[in-house]
Each structure stands twice: as structure tokens, then as C-alpha cells.
Amino acid sequence: MPTISLKLKHSPYKVFIKKGIANEIPKHLKWGQKYAVITDNKVSALYGKAFVRFLRKNGIEAELFSFAQGEKSKILPTIEKIANQMVEKNFDRKDAIIALGGGVVGDLAGFLASMYMRGIPYIQIPTTLLAMVDSSIGGKTGVDMKTGKNLLGRIEQPKAVFIDSTYLKTLAKKQIRNGLAEVIKYGVIRDPKLFSFIENNSEEIFNLEEKAINKIITDSVKIKAKVVEKDEHEAGLRMILNYGHTYGHAIEKMSGYKLLHGYAISIGMVIANKIAVKKGMLKKEDSDRIKALLTKVELPIVTIKKPSNKDLMSDKKRQGQYINLILPTKIGKVKIVQEKCQ
């Protein structure tokens, strides 16, 4: 079982990657007297109710809290509603939260954990490929506002992350593509071998063949863990993880969050590549190769309307009148470039 340690100064933790690891979770739970299992209504029906029964059967006190599936629920009213429900169920500072679900669940539950009773522990059990390779790692939590994505939030590291690829068996193909966009991102920013693996094994990945899935998850987590260890609070290096995100987040918002995150990031990567080619930083052959892989796995590469400077300025990563663009110089390496929005 691959176990990846995030060696952070104040809040180190482990990421356990193993098919079937969810069945071993009770023996690991040491952070709360009882657990609030937070999920969305779809995951609740698929796994949540059974997971709570499983915990109780193993002598762990747990309650299930769910909200409507989707990015539109990732707002402060949802946080307040669940917090009130937790108070009614007598959750206090000696208890903990389990985030069971995709990126929206992890972001929302982690943010709630950072604030409830001035902070209680939480763990991540991601159920989507996107959450497994990206959002469950690194401690970023938050909710959206009308003016932008994740504008309210904080970096609050979980106590542990348990990645069980068994959950992927009920995931729609579009959600595999959604997560694969982030895996391709890792290949472009840090690992040309991972990029080549996806080029040569996309069919195996979509068929959820264990060897291929385990590799892309493990390699992605290792890359993110190393970056986060060096820059937990996004003061410098961690910004490279935002390749494709500056334009991608704006595109997501323009769609009313109807476009999946990974789909928006795919378009954002293509836009970033065009800028890099125009600046003479990236060879057109590499840009075309990235676009070809995104096309091969059926991710979108164009948008009807390109985000304006005003759209970009709502991004939380802007600094005054400047935005940071992550531009590739070759497959496996990127550079942070600051651009002024006129």
C-alpha cells in the first residue's frame, strides 16, 4: 500500500492509497469522540449511509450530514445549515469531521472543520478522481461567492487522507475526464513521464484498470505532496499547481459553474499554452502535443467566450492589478509570469 507522508512543519499527515482502504478506516480513527460524516446527497445514497452504519458497527459514533450535490451548494448558507445540524446533534470540540465525497464536499467540509467551535479535526475520503489526485491533498478549503470561486477559505490540513479507488466504479466517464485534466496538469508542470503514460494508457485508465489508476493517483499525489511541503501557503512554488486555473476558474464562473472544473481547466491550459507560444517560451510542437492529449481523452479545448481582464481580476490569486500566469516552457516544466490586467 503506497503511503505518502506530507512532512509539514506544523501539521504533518499521511495519505493512504489502497484499493479497499475504506474498510480499514475504523482502526485509524483517533481524532474525535464522534464523527460528522459530511457528503452530498448523491454520495450519501451511494456510500454515505452504508459508511455510517459501518462505523457504528465498529463501535464508532457517527452521524451523516448531506447537502445538494454540485458547486452551487459550496456557499456560506450550506456551511451554516450543517453547522446548526451538528450543534443539534451535540457535536463539540472533542469531535471530528469526515469529508466523504468529491472536491466540493472536501472544500466545504474542510472549511467548516476549520471554523466549527473555532476548529476541529477532519479527514478526507475522496470519492472522485479529481478529489483523489488534487483537491483532497494540500489543505485548501473554501466556499464560493457571487464574485468568484473559493474567495472565502483557508489552508487547513486534514489529519489524514484515505484514497480508495473502489469508489471510482460508480463514477461516470465524464468525471474520470474531469479528474484526468488535473493529472495531465501534473505531467505538464512536473513529470513528462506521467504525461507520456497517459498518452499511451488512456484506454486502461478509462477502463479503471487497477495498475493504471494506481499509477496516476500515486504519481499525482507525490507531485502535489512535494510541492506543498516546500510551499504550504502558496507563497511561491505552489502557484505552479495553478497551471490552467487562472483562465479556467474564470471560465467556470462564466458558465454559472455548469462546466465541470477539469473541463474548464483543460481550456485554461490551452489558453496558457497559446500565450506561452506567443511569448516564445514554449515550442508549438509541445503546445500541440498537450492539446492532442486533451482531445484524445475528450476534454474541451475551446471556449465560446474568452474571459476578459475583468473576469480574470476576480481570481483570488491576483495581486493588485496583476495576475500570475503559469506558463509551460516544455512538458515537465513551467514558469510563473506576472501579467498586468489593463
DSSP 230-242: H-TT-SSGGGGGG
Contact 136, 156 (CB under 8 A): no
d(C-alpha 141, C-alpha 103), whole Å = 9
Residue 126 has phi, psi (to 5 degrees) of -70, 140
- C-alpha cell recorded at residue 315: 481570481
Q: Which stretch of DSSP H or E encloses residue 101?
A: strand 96-101
Contact 333, 189 (CB under 8 A): yes
Q: Which stretch of DSSP H or E encloses residue 223?
A: helix 210-230
d(C-alpha 113, C-alpha 98), whole Å = 9
- What positions carry a catalytic annotation? 118, 140, 182, 224, 234, 238, 242, 245, 249, 261
d(C-alpha 55, C-alpha 209), whole Å = 29
- C-alpha cell recorded at residue 131: 478529489
Contact 319, 337 (CB under 8 A): no
DSSP 156-197: ---SEEEE-GGGGGG--HHHHHHHHHHHHHHHHHH-HHHHHH
Contact 8, 232 (CB under 8 A): yes
